[in-house]
Amino acid sequence: MFTSAKTSLSVQPEKLVDSYGRVSDGTRTVFGYCSVNCEGRCILNFHMKGDELVWVESDRSIDDGADARQIRACLRGRSIREWINHAERLSYPLRRVGPRGSGRFERVSWDEALDLIARNLARVVETYGNEAVYINFASGVMCANIMGFLHRFMNLYGGCLDGYGDYSHSQIDAALPYMYGARDANTPSDVRHSKLVVLFGDNSFETKMCGGGGSVHLKDALAEADVRTIVIDPRYSETAANCADEWVAIRPGTDGALAAALAYVMIEEGLVDAAFLARYCVGYDEDTLPSSAPPGSSYKSYIMGAGPDSCPKTPQWASATTGVPVDTIVKLARTIAAAKPCAICQGKGPQRHSNGEQTARAIAMLAVLTGNVGISGGNTGSDFETYRFFEGDVPGPDNPVAAAIPVFLWTDAIARGPQMTAAEDGVRGVDRLRCGIKFLWNYAGNTIINQHSNINRTHDILVDEDGCEFIVAIDTFLTASARYADVVLPDLMPVEQPSLIANDWAGDAGYVLMNSQYLPARGERRTLYWMLSQLAERLGFGEAFTEGRSEEEWRQVIYDQARAADPDLPPYDELLEVGVYRRDNPDGAHVAFKEFRDDPEGHPLDTPSGKIEVYSEKILADTAHFVLRDDEVISPLPVYAPLTFEPGTADRERFPLQLIGYHHRSRAHSSYGSLDTIKERARHQLWINPVDAVPRAIEDGEEVEVSTAFGRLLIEAKVTERIMPGVIALGEGAWHRADMEGDRLDRGGCINTLTSSRPTPLAKGNPQHTNCAQVRKAG
């Protein structure tokens, strides 16, 4: 319970009355939840009539009051009944009968499907070795007792090619540890102690708009303390609309230039926290540079024009790049420096650009310059942290395969696997891949097509069966990605099976959810554990995989392991009975690196110097073997790095607009993306400023064609001043729908029809917001 008490248990409702106390004509209510990857995991109440789910309401497991908050679902979670009961749900195993990607399948028996998978997995391992098998990145199921079984299965069968990073925040994960030794930040409710909050590209109120995410705590804290808030973003987002006192519109990918100019004003006017920089930091000025650094390579020298580029990072310099007026830059610098304390935070959008690692460090540098690190009301410049107290996963052996790739480069590992190296492609564990991916698992994910860049390129890679020879998709729908599988298996949703899930993104409180199987399995749908148990039997390690345990017994093993590390968790049977266990952060809020701030000698950071490394020798050492393109930047300093593009894709005569993506309110990535009712509630549209729409004769609501060097799509236009001129924005996650044997024009509005697959230089991560585009009226 979100009260002053540390913990509480919530009783599952199972009543013959509705939430208003009215008799419900035999309808009973049972506990449920929404488990998609929006950082929410919201509690739901399912109203059942017999075995039928007839309607859904949001959390009422506790009373909602001043000291207690119900975990209210957003419009996505409240639409889950349509997802569960949808006529297009997969119900039977399918085998491909047409070309890959054609979506032509035939129904087969479970024995036929499983025999086909087992034969091909055994063949690939025998022919190429376990390195040729890969589990693709996915986030459609967030339960501790589900996804981990696939990794257990493969590790028991000799392992598979591993992946590191993710599609959301690889760049910030890779960059900030070089500065702080770890990526950490204050939790959202701590902003009630701030005088000012500055959000670079953070749109929590839309991305995490549910009652279970940290945005609830952020919004409450801002309102309670009446904290002034500035949002820096190309769009006047829902976050800006809900909490911003000021919106600063900025060209995409130029946040690092703005940060540099803000630093120039602060240094020029003596507004930096000199005492903090001298005691806690390495490399801010020439006096604190490491001995290995050449003269003139300090951060101050770079900003003031005394460094190798001899370019002062003045507001005038930055204004030409960012589109932010000079007066606004000067005022913003003075405002940030004067606010004591000031919470500077970045969302994941700014780092999801080419050279995004440099952007992440450049923004974080503002928190360092102003001495706001390690104090309540401040922050590290990272995205907000969360209170985590539950760690649970399926136990199993380590992966015997040493090789690992960045998850964003799986298509490269199919197309040119043996050419991928540690120096050029971020391969880990080996210097070079021995072979390409030949067998691909895709569980509960839409990343094979929908969520991966440059869909037309990906299609061409996947349809070549000499590349990846066998693809298995396990899902609830025939998604855009599942259409490329050789075998499709019908999954159960987490809430349709015995499951265990932790909400560790709830800001300064969290909860653990456990449910029994209230909803019956329709058709021939099965759990992942059942499928893998059957495959393990066919491949000769069934007993090793199951250890004689049922799925429910494995769930208890996972939970009991977590409870051994955290004895305050209730006993398994008690949690199973009540369904929800809640816990507040006993410290109220987390303050990142507080111990270091209080005692830097006694509690050094996990950096080579033990201090904040403004100049990082380690990043130079770690990447000395990297082979970079001429326009890629890995610097020991948090310098501004301009956007980079694949050759020929940034022709500004053909593609004069910048295209960015954002998380759309009707989808959690692509989850819920197939539901008609939610599409009607939150229309999928391209945002375009009137300055750009009028010369193109585009009116609000008209269909337009959007193109880049990689593809074309059709979408309805939203003509609005809520986006800066020269920039267009399209929500990610809409399902790709194109005739791939014909014109390849996407009629589903999937942004990855248009995006580049060139990775970022340090993390080899996702650059999907860096695009040059054109828009014209359709027809």
What single string gives the DSSP state of each residue in 133-182?
A: EEE----S---TTTTHHHHHHHHHTT--BEEES-SSSHHHHHHHHHHHSS
What's this model's pTM, rounded to 2 decimal places? 0.95
What is the rounded distance in angstroms from the CA atom of residue 236 to the CA atom of residue 243? 11
Spatial contact of 281 and 593, defined as CB atoms under 8 Å apart: no
Q: What is the DSSP letter of 333?
A: H
Quote the strand ranges of 507-557, DSSP E: 509-515
**Best CA proximity match to 452, nearest among 756, 662, 712, 675:** 756
- Which parts of 284-378 fold into alpha helices (H)? 299-304, 315-322, 326-338, 356-369
- Say how many Å lie between the first and final Cα of the chain, rounded: 55
> How many Å is the Cα radius of gyration of the chain?
26
- Point out the residues of the chain with pLDDT beneath 70: 1-25, 65-68, 504-506
What is the rounded distance in angstroms from the CA atom of residue 562 to the CA atom of residue 149? 17
| Reported CATH class of domain 94-168+398-503+509-584 | alpha beta
Residue spans in the chain of domains classed CATH 3.40.50.740: 94-168+398-503+509-584
Hey, what are 214's tokens?
Answer: 């940290």
**Best CA proximity match to 511, nearest among 15, 31, 30:** 31
What is the rounded distance in angstroms from the CA atom of residue 348 to the CA atom of residue 283? 26
Q: What is the DSSP letter of 73?
A: -
Signed CA dihedral, 260, 266, 268, 272: sign only: negative
> Exposed, middle or buried: residue 571 (CB in 10 Å: 0-12, 13-18, 19+)?
exposed
pLDDT score, position 515: 82
- What's the half-sphere exposure (Cβ side, CA atoms, 13 Å) at 709? 18
| Reported CATH class of domain 171-387+592-622 | alpha beta
pLDDT score, position 2: 30
What is the rounded distance in angstroms from the CA atom of residue 10 to the CA atom of residue 377? 32
Spatial contact of 617 and 608, defined as CB atoms under 8 Å apart: yes
> Which amino acid is located at 365 in the chain?
M
Residue 444 makes CB contacts below 8 A (sequence gap 6+) with: 138, 139, 140, 141, 146, 147, 474, 475, 476, 491
Residue 691 burial (CB count, 10 A): 12
Dihedrals phi, psi of 612, to nearest 5 degrees? -70, 120
> Exposed, middle or buried: residue 331 (CB in 10 Å: 0-12, 13-18, 19+)?
middle
Strands 228-232 and 196-200: parallel
pLDDT score, position 40: 77
- Whole-angstrom CA distances from 574 to 33, 519, 580 are 19, 21, 10
Query: Which residues on adjacent β-strands are paired with residue 406?
Result: 164
- Which parts of 323-419 fold into alpha helices (H)? 326-338, 356-369, 410-415
Topology, domain 657-777: Barwin-like endoglucanases (2.40.40)
pLDDT score, position 471: 98
What is the rounded distance in angstroms from the CA atom of residue 534 to the CA atom of residue 363? 50
Residue spans in the chain of domains classed CATH 3.40.228.10: 171-387+592-622
Hey, what are 777's tokens?
Answer: 């009226």
- What's the half-sphere exposure (Cβ side, CA atoms, 13 Å) at 363? 31
| Residue that is written with structure tokens 């014109």 in the block | 743
Hey, what are 704's tokens?
Answer: 């337009």
**Best CA proximity match to 234, nearest among 641, 585, 615, 725:** 725
